[in-house]
Structure 1
Amino acid sequence: MREQSPNETDGSRTRDTLEALAAGDIGVSEAESRIAGYATTAAGRFDAAREDRRGIPEAVLAEGKRPAEAAALATTALETTGRALVTRASPDHAAAVREAVGDAAPDADVDHDEVTRTVVVHAAGFEPPALSATVAVVTAGTADAPVAGEAEVVAREIGAGVDRIEDVGVANLDRLLDQVARIREADVVVVAAGREGALPTVVAGLVAAPVIAVPVSTGYGEGGEGAAALAGALQSCTVLTTVNVDAGFVAGAQAGLIARAIDGGV
């Protein structure tokens, strides 16, 4: 049988999309996203194809956006992909998203976490991916929870199982040592730590799995606001990967991509 060319495949996809639109099975935003790879809103263009292209669901960064703009992008995400992930959301952002989603899709599930400042919306019947791989998300202290929590949410949305291990900072190594066996069970480890940021380098010397260091903007004085934590992670003599200060989304996405690769090799 003759193999279809890419142009023929694209033409067939476009025709199917237009037929679904004409039949009322999909809306304009979803039709546009299928054809162009993104959907246009008054608040900007939403990259609806990112998960298919990159393996990472597109997120709406609420910080810097008005609540109505974040809500418009979230509803577009829900319409085009079946879910929405909003990060760095204030209570006003979360309230606007909840109201907009309630109007557009009353049966959708909306989960707002005030600590992680995330809003996760799943359409009714949406089935998130499930990977045969686990990410351990480790924090040095309570102040690291918001950034670590953002990483956890992203890794879960990619499909990884997550084991959260909290408050094992190096000020008392016993707290870490009694959790080492548990951390070693994970396929990839994210470690969030502020101040001098020693925890990621210590963990990386104790486990075989890849370790992703997330410097957190805690601490004060010389090297405060994450500067010392970032420098320490970059200068680590144990092998690890370092993301930017407070970059929980990036750490969670990287961990999720590693989990996907492990799942694909099972």
Structure 2
Amino acid sequence: MRELLEAVAAGELSVTEAESKLSGYATTEAGRFDAARETRRGVPEAILCDGKIPGEVATLATTAVETTGRALVTRADDEQIQAVRARLAKEHPDANVQVRERANILVAHAVGFSKPELDATVGVVSAGTSDAIPAGEAVTVAEEMGASTEEIHDVGVASLVRVLDEVETLRDADVLVVAAGREGALPTVIAGLVDTPVIGLPVSNGYGHAGQGKSALLGMLQSCTVLSAVNIDAGFMAGAQAGLIAQAIGSAKE
């Protein structure tokens, strides 16, 4: 503790950084940022933009970069993204900011930040273009956890030949996230073709009876092939679960 206090007194460490090292979180006017989550859980903390005003998102993102070297901002709209860019340009002008637009997700890395590197590949499969937001979340989270990713798009079950054309690529992955709406059949089909762990990601792009992802979720839960399923549109959760599996596989290969 003395070393931390001396670093703060010398101007080498901010009060926010010191708090995060002592307590595991940093307190801001926008809430507490869990700076120790990745160390504790293996999954980086994310800033969910739903329900937050742009200034709150920007505050939390800046705090994330300051305390962990990285900000992972999900479900962000244009105004929130611009607020984060502006605040980081002012307080961390050298930070590298990237936006995955179709997934509405922003990632910022401080200078010198290095992601972990895993000897494992996460395949992220989507049935159609409408699955882009949660599928993109899964890709980004898995990559930030250190896994390599392989994306396979537009292979819905309405034309099974599209899936069959990708079987070898699917089998090469260490773990698969499969996003689908409507009746959610794609994860079941793929899980019957591979010996890879499959995580079903139901998407709220269906309509009619039990629409908005309900049929997709129920179909995945009722699958006759072995797979697991996350909640509707829970791309972050699917990517994090895949990342944890990738960490275990990577460690086993060492």
1:26 Cα offset (Å): 1.5
Which string of whole-angstrom CA distances, capped at 9 and with x for unpartnered residues, describes residues 155-182 of structure 1? 0001100000001110000000000100
> 3-state DSSP class of the match of 1:249?
helix
* 1:86 corresponds to which of 73, 79, 100: 73
Contact 2:182–2:211, Cα closer than 8 Å, also in 1: yes
Match of 1:258 in 2: 245
1:16 Cα offset (Å): 2.5
* 1:120 corresponds to which of 95, 107, 112: 107
* 1:102 corresponds to which of 89, 96, 101: 89
- Structure 2 CA distance, aligned partners of 1:249 and 1:85? 11
Match of 1:166 in 2: 153
> 3-state DSSP class of the match of 1:115?
helix
1:104 Cα offset (Å): 0.6
* 1:57 corresponds to which of 28, 31, 44: 44
- Structure 2 CA distance, aligned partners of 1:241 and 1:18? 47
- Structure 2 CA distance, aligned partners of 1:20 and 1:240? 49
Contact 1:136–1:186, Cα closer than 8 Å, also in 2: yes
1:23 Cα offset (Å): 2.1
* 1:47 corresponds to which of 24, 34, 38: 34
- Structure 1 CA distance, aligned partners of 2:250 and 2:13? 32
* 1:230 corresponds to which of 213, 217, 220: 217
Match of 1:239 in 2: 226
- Structure 2 CA distance, aligned partners of 1:223 and 1:128? 40
Task: Answer yes or no: is 1:216 the counterpart of 2:189.
Answer: no
> 3-state DSSP class of the match of 2:233?
coil
Q: Which one has the largest radius of gyration?
A: 1
Amino acid at match of 1:20: A
- Structure 1 CA distance, aligned partners of 2:20 and 2:207? 45
* 1:73 corresponds to which of 43, 56, 60: 60
Amino acid at match of 2:104: R
Which string of whole-angstrom CA distances, capped at 9 and with x for unpartnered residues, describes residues 155-210 of structure 1? 00011000000011100000000001001000000000000000001111111111
- Structure 1 CA distance, aligned partners of 2:145 and 2:2? 30
Instruction: In structure 1, list runs of 5 or more residues that go unmatched.
Output: 1-13
Which string of whole-angstrom CA distances, capped at 9 and with x for unpartnered residues, describes residues 85-105 of structure 1? 000000001000000000111
Q: Report how many aligned residue pairs link the two structures.
A: 253
1:125 Cα offset (Å): 1.6
* 2:118 corresponds to which of 108, 131, 141: 131
Amino acid at match of 2:98: D
1:73 Cα offset (Å): 0.2
Which string of whole-angstrom CA distances, capped at 9 and with x for unpartnered residues, describes residues 129-174 of structure 1? 1110000000001101111001100000011000000011100000
Contact 1:91–1:114, Cα closer than 8 Å, also in 2: no
1:113 Cα offset (Å): 2.0
> 3-state DSSP class of the match of 2:158?
coil
> 3-state DSSP class of the match of 2:176?
strand
Contact 1:169–1:175, Cα closer than 8 Å, also in 2: yes
Match of 1:4 in 2: none
Amino acid at match of 1:145: A
Q: Identify which range, 185-194 or 218-227, moves more after superposition.
A: 218-227
Amino acid at match of 1:163: E
1:17 Cα offset (Å): 1.9
Identical aligned pairs, as a percentage?
Answer: 62
Which string of whole-angstrom CA distances, capped at 9 and with x for unpartnered residues, describes residues 6-43 of structure 1? xxxxxxxx222222222222111110000011000000
